[in-house]
Amino acid sequence: MAKKIISLTLIFMLIFAVGCANKGVENEKQSSEGKLRVYASIYPMYDFAKNIGKDKIDLHLMIPPGAQPHDWEPTAKLMTELENADVFIYNGVMMEPWVDKLLDTIDNKKLIVVKASENVELLKVQDYITHGHEEKNHHHGEYDPHVWLDPIRAMKQVENIKNAFIKADYKNKDFYEKNFKEFAEELKALDEEYRHKLSKVKNREIVVSHAAFGYMAKRYGLIQIPIRGLNPKEEPSAAKLSEIADIMKDKKIKYIYFETLTNPKVAEVLATEVGAKTAVLNPIGGLTKEEIDSGKDYLKAMKENLETLIRTLGE
Q: Are 234 and 210 in contact (CB under 8 A)?
A: yes
- Give me the sign of the Cα torsion angle 297, 302, 305, 306: negative
pTM of the model: 0.86
CA 124 to chain centre: 20
CA distance 213 to 223: 9
Q: How much is the pLDDT for 286?
A: 86
> Domains in the chain, ordered, with CATH?
34-192 (3.40.50.1980), 200-313 (3.40.50.1980)
Give the span between the Cα atoms of 90 and 94, in whole angstroms: 10
Rounded to the nearest 10 degrees, the angle between the axes of helix 298-313 and helix 173-198 is 10
| Structure letter (DSSP) for residue 273 | H
pLDDT of the residue at 136: 43
CA distance 259 to 301: 12
Q: What are phi and psi of 232, to 5 degrees?
A: -70, -10
Question: SS3 for 230?
Answer: coil
Per-residue pLDDT of the chain (315 residues; tens, 9 = 90+): 444 444 444 444 444 444 444 444 343 333 467 899 999 999 999 999 999 999 999 999 999 998 877 778 999 999 999 999 999 999 999 999 999 999 999 999 999 999 999 999 999 987 765 444 344 444 456 899 999 999 999 999 999 999 999 999 999 999 999 999 999 999 999 999 999 999 999 899 999 998 999 999 999 999 999 998 887 778 889 999 999 999 999 999 999 999 877 788 899 999 999 999 999 999 999 888 899 999 999 999 999 999 999 999 986
Pairing of strands 223-228, 112-115: unpaired
The pair phi, psi for residue 48, each rounded to 5°, is -65, -45
Q: Are 179 and 157 in contact (CB under 8 A)?
A: no
What angle in degrees, to the nearest 10, is found between the helix axes of 151-168 and 43-53? Answer: 60
Asked whether the CA dihedral 46, 184, 123, 265 is positive or negative, the reply is negative
